[in-house]
Amino acid sequence: MGQARSPRAGGVTARVPPNIVLIGFMATGKTSVGRIVASRLGRPFVDTDALIEAEAGRSVPRIFAEDGEAAFRRLEAQAVARAAGPGGSVIATGGGVVLSRKNMDRLRQHGLIVALRADPQAILARVGRAGDRPLLGDDPEGRVHRLLEERSEFYREADVVVETSALSLDAVADRVVAFVLAREDALRGAAISDPARPAAGSAGDRPAAGAARAVRVDLGPRGYDVWIGKGILADAAAYLDRCGLRGRLALLTHPRIDALYGRPLARRLRKAGYEVVPVIVPPAESSKSLRAAARVFDRLVDAGFDRSCALLALGGGVAGDLGGFVAATFLRGIAWVSAPTTLLAQVDASIGGKTGINFRAKNLIGAVHQPAVVLADPDTLRSLPPRQLRSGMAEVVKTGVIGAPDLFDYVESHAAECRRGDPAALEWIVARCAAYKADVVARDEREAGPRMVLNYGHTFGHAFEAAASYRGLTHGEAVSVGMTLEARLAVRLGVCAPALLDRQTRLLEALGLPVRRAALSRRKPPAPRAVRAAMAHDKKAAAGRLRFVLPQAPGRTVIRDDVPPALIEEVLTDG
Ligand SMILES: NC(=O)c1ccc[n+]([C@@H]2O[C@H](COP(=O)([O-])OP(=O)(O)OC[C@H]3O[C@@H](n4cnc5c(N)ncnc54)[C@H](O)[C@@H]3O)[C@@H](O)[C@H]2O)c1
């Protein structure tokens, strides 16, 4: 929680969308809905009560009890002044913020006001669960009715009122997002059909050149920001400092990335007072190994690293998975920063804290260890080889199929731009995917449920990689063929219509991605027998049964572990 703004001077400036200000009575869901809305739109989230508590070093009930309501309202006015800022944030306010005209004028100056409403019964039921409301005293029922009556006229001043009594938090967030996007369109006079404009549930406006935006991965004390912005690597020291990372830093990267971005970054970090220890590893999947990890451990021990030191992984998914794994295990865990430089890592691998190495099977050894911050600089994608760009697009298509139909539509209608790496298209795609993944990870950090959906295409995909000994094919290529085969399973099982498989196949082909096993390697595609053997080691197998994420419709999936082995075999052999 807390305010997330670019540390650069005026980081979020030009074309800043208005703040989205959530007002409403206690227990209407302002904070929870605010977090979901912020995550979906890829915008910073600010909670005025949290600002007050951080400033005062005490909880709101304690401030009320020790200093009284008037003192609390003064602190609240200061918090509102700070939160109201130049726009671009989602702001959850305390229930009484509306009592001050000055507060409301400030919030309205750069914001759309959204009131969340609930009937007294719903509020009392929720308060009963949450407890600890200083304003309710000994007669919660009477107080709720009286306060609601007193304040209802203020809540009516909002730009929109959303009735929450019978809705889930997600459903309330849906309504808020839909309203905000429609209103923002109206404000800038843009046509709804502008294809570059993300639709509901998406990452929001493209930033102006030079602006950065944050997507919050809301994991409470392990939460962090994914910053996305052209040139932000040049400001890395400010972002690191902001997370309390100072002193010694291992910069883990590959030789070419080191020459392109690592050395300039190290120079800047040193200038800002960091002691940088370069750790260069080969640019191949083989670096995700116990041997490579051992070399990195050696380097850290030789350099005298202790628990106060941190690691920055600069590169694609390989640098991130290896660097994150070393950070998770060295001295039982040191802080780390992910600076992804491939499209695949910016849209997927850098977010969510999954780290690991390959051992007999893909990612068999690893840990969930969240980074302190992710710095995704789309400028680095300019040097990415076309094949790696295409590879990243496979995870983008995956995201579209499993949970972001608007993204799927966008990529479908901009396939040529995506294929040639149009910077504006890529930047929007990175933010959209980051917002989606951050939301999934926040709901299920350790893959006990919803996060499994991210494995679409990976049951076959990981097995292709292992069967080919990680040579001759990229992760994205393996996932592309994996998605095709898994969608084929879905069609054969009656889970989805053939039209979805056709649409997905056409899009993958338009992006230059393979859709058949035989196309996975020019010389020797992974053989069915080797793929089967690799699948037997798959982490996703539950009680010996393979688990597949199967698409039902754009944005909807089902997880199945009852796919008949004969059908898997058939699809694999045909594929
Ligand atoms: N942890 C996760 O959640 C997660 C998710 C998806 C994939 N992954 C893992 O990610 C790995 C694949 O990552 P990847 O596709 O990024 O591959 P990669 O890390 O191997 O990078 C691909 C190649 O591109 C080069 N490269 C990277 N950035 C560059 C740039 N800006 N300019 C020029 N060259 C550049 C690299 O040196 C390398 O040669 C796989 O091991 C996969 O299992 C992890």
Average pLDDT over residues 86-101: 88
Q: 74 vs 133, which has greater pLDDT?
A: 74
Q: Which two tokens stand for residue 469?
A: 């000994």
133 marked as part of a ligand binding site: yes
Q: Annotated binding residue at 95?
A: yes
DSSP characters for 416-483?
Answer: HHHHHT-HHHHHHHHHHHHHHHHHHHHH-TTSSSGGGGGGTTHHHHHHHHHHTTT-SS-HHHHHHHHH
CA distance 333 to 483: 34
The minimum-distance atom of ligand 1 relative to the CA of 318 is 19
Closest CA to 450 of 369, 557, 366: 557
**Exposed/middle/buried for 153, CB within 10 Å: 0-12, 13-18, 19+?**
exposed
3-state helix, strand, coil in the chain (%, to 5): 55, 15, 30
The residue whose C-alpha atom lies closest to atom 38 belonging to ligand 1 is 283
The pLDDT score that the predictor gives to residue 153 is: 79
Is pLDDT of 94 > 90? yes
**More confident site: 437 or 204:** 437
Report the pLDDT value the prediction gives residue 543, as an integer from 0 to 100.
Answer: 67
Does the structure show a pLDDT above 60 at 190?
no
Tell me the CA–centroid distance for residue 341 and ligand 1, in Å: 8
List the structure tokens of 432: 């959209």
230 labelled as ligand-binding? no
Q: Is 395 annotated as a binding residue?
A: yes
pLDDT band at 178 (very low <50, low <70, confident <90, very high): confident
pLDDT of residue 69: 92
pTM over 0.75: no
Ligand 1, atom 13, lies closest to the CA of 317
Query: Can you tell me which atom of ligand 1 is nearest the CA of 356?
Result: 1
For residue range 494-520, list pLDDT tens digits in order: 999 999 999 999 999 999 999 999 999
Render the burial of 496-535: b for 16+ CB within 10 Å, e for the rest.
Answer: beeebbebbbebbeebbbbbebeebbeeebbebeebeebb
Ligand 1 atom 12 nearest Cα: 317
* Residue of 230, 281, 289, 321 with the most ligand 1 atoms within 8 Å of its CB, for mutation: 321
Q: Which of 338, 368, 388 to mutate to test the pocket of ligand 1 (most atoms within 8 A of CB)?
A: 388
Top mutation candidate among 318, 346, 382 for ligand 1, by most atoms within 8 Å of CB: 318
Greatest C-alpha distance within the chain: 77
The string of pLDDT tens digits covering residues 135-157 is 666 777 888 888 888 887 788 77
Q: What residues flank ligand 1, with Cβ below 6 Å?
A: 254, 256-257, 283, 285, 288, 315-319, 321, 341-342, 344-345, 348-349, 352, 354, 380, 383-384, 388, 391, 474-476
Taking the CA of residue 261 as reference, the ligand 1 atom at the shortest distance is 31
Judged against a pLDDT cut of 50, whether residue 317 lies above it is answered with yes
Q: Is 532 annotated as a binding residue?
A: no
For ligand 1, the distance from its centroid to the CA atom of residue 346, given in whole angstroms, is 9
Calculate how far, in angstroms, residue 255's C-alpha sits from the geometric centre of ligand 1.
Answer: 14
The partner residues of 228 in beta bridges, in order of sequence, read: 213, 376
pLDDT tens digit string along 220-247?
Answer: 899 999 999 889 999 999 999 988 999 9
| pLDDT of 270 higher than 70 | yes
pLDDT for the residue numbered 574? 87
What is the rounded CA–CA span in Å between residue 459 and residue 448? 17
Please state the domain extents for the chain.
19-188, 212-383, 397-574
- Helices 30-41 and 169-188: angle between axes, nearest 10 degrees: 50
Which CATH code of 2.60.40.10, 1.10.357.10, 2.30.38.10, 1.20.1090.10 fits the domain covering 397-574?
Answer: 1.20.1090.10
Is 102 annotated in a binding site? The answer is: no
Question: Residue 121: its pLDDT value, please?
Answer: 87
pLDDT at 198: 35
Mean pLDDT value of segment 130-138: 64
- The 3-state secondary structure of 317-366 reads HHHHHHHHHHHHHHHHCCEEEEEECCHHHHHHHCCCCEEEEEECEEEEEE
Is the pLDDT at 4 greater than 60, yes or no? no
Share of the chain above pLDDT 70, in %: 90
Does position 293 have pLDDT exceeding 80, yes or no? yes
Atom of ligand 1 lying closest to residue 355 CA: 1
381 CA distance to ligand 1 middle (Å): 12
pLDDT at 84: 86
**148-162, 258-272, 439-453, 535-549, range with greatest mean pLDDT:** 258-272
The dotted CATH code for 19-188 is 3.40.50.300
Closest ligand 1 atom, residue 395 Cα: 6
Question: In a mutational test of the pocket of ligand 1, which residue from 344, 377, 381 has the highest number of ligand atoms less than 8 Å from its CB?
Answer: 344
**Pairing status of strand 45-47 against strand 90-92:** parallel
> Which of ligand 1's atoms lies nearest the C-alpha of 343?
16
CA 350 to ligand 1 center in whole angstroms: 10
Give residue 321 CA to ligand 1 midpoint distance, Å: 9
Q: How far is the CA of 320 from the centre of ligand 1 (A)?
A: 8
Task: Categorise residue 551: left if φ over 0, alpha if ψ from -120 to 50, beta otherwise.
Answer: beta
Dist. CA 308–CA 251, nearest whole Å: 15
Reduced to 3 states (helix: H, G, I; strand: E, B; else coil), residue 404 is: coil
Percent of the chain with pLDDT over 90: 66
* Residue 448 reports pLDDT greater than 50: yes
**Residue 32, annotated ligand binder?**
yes
Checking if the pLDDT of 129 tops 70, the result is no
Q: Of all protein residues, whose CA lies closest to atom 35 belonging to ligand 1?
A: 384
Residues 6+ apart with CB under 8 A from 49: 31, 60, 79, 92, 94
Question: In the structure encoding, which two tokens stand for residue 495, read together?
Answer: 């889970």
Please indicate whether the domains covering 19-188 and 212-383 agree at the CATH topology level.
yes
pLDDT at 93: 95
pLDDT value for 201: 33
At residue 196, the pLDDT reads 35
CB 227 within 8 A of CB 239: yes
Q: Which fold has domain 212-383?
A: Rossmann fold (3.40.50)
Residues with catalytic roles: 332, 354, 395, 437, 447, 451, 455, 458, 462, 475
Give residue 250's pLDDT: 98
Per-residue confidence (pLDDT) for residue 152, from 0 to 100: 78
Give residue 317 CA to ligand 1 midpoint distance, Å. 4
Q: Is the predicted pLDDT of residue 570 greater than 80, yes or no?
A: yes
The pLDDT, as a whole number, for residue 131 is 53
pLDDT given at position 539 = 62
| pLDDT at 194 (0 to 100) | 29
Please check if 321 is assigned to a binding site.
yes
Residue 188 has pLDDT above 60, yes or no: no
Tell me what the mean pLDDT of segment 46-73 comes to: 90
Strand 19-24: give its sheet, edge to edge.
45-47, 90-92, 19-24, 111-117, 160-163
Q: Look at residue 165 and tell me whether its pLDDT is greater than 90.
A: no
Could you tell me if 217 and 352 are in contact, meaning their C-beta atoms sit under 8 angstroms apart? yes
Q: What does pLDDT average to over the chain?
A: 88
Amino acid symbol at 249:
L
Closest C-alpha residue for ligand 1 atom 19: 316
| Pairwise CA distance, residues 30 & 46, whole Å | 11
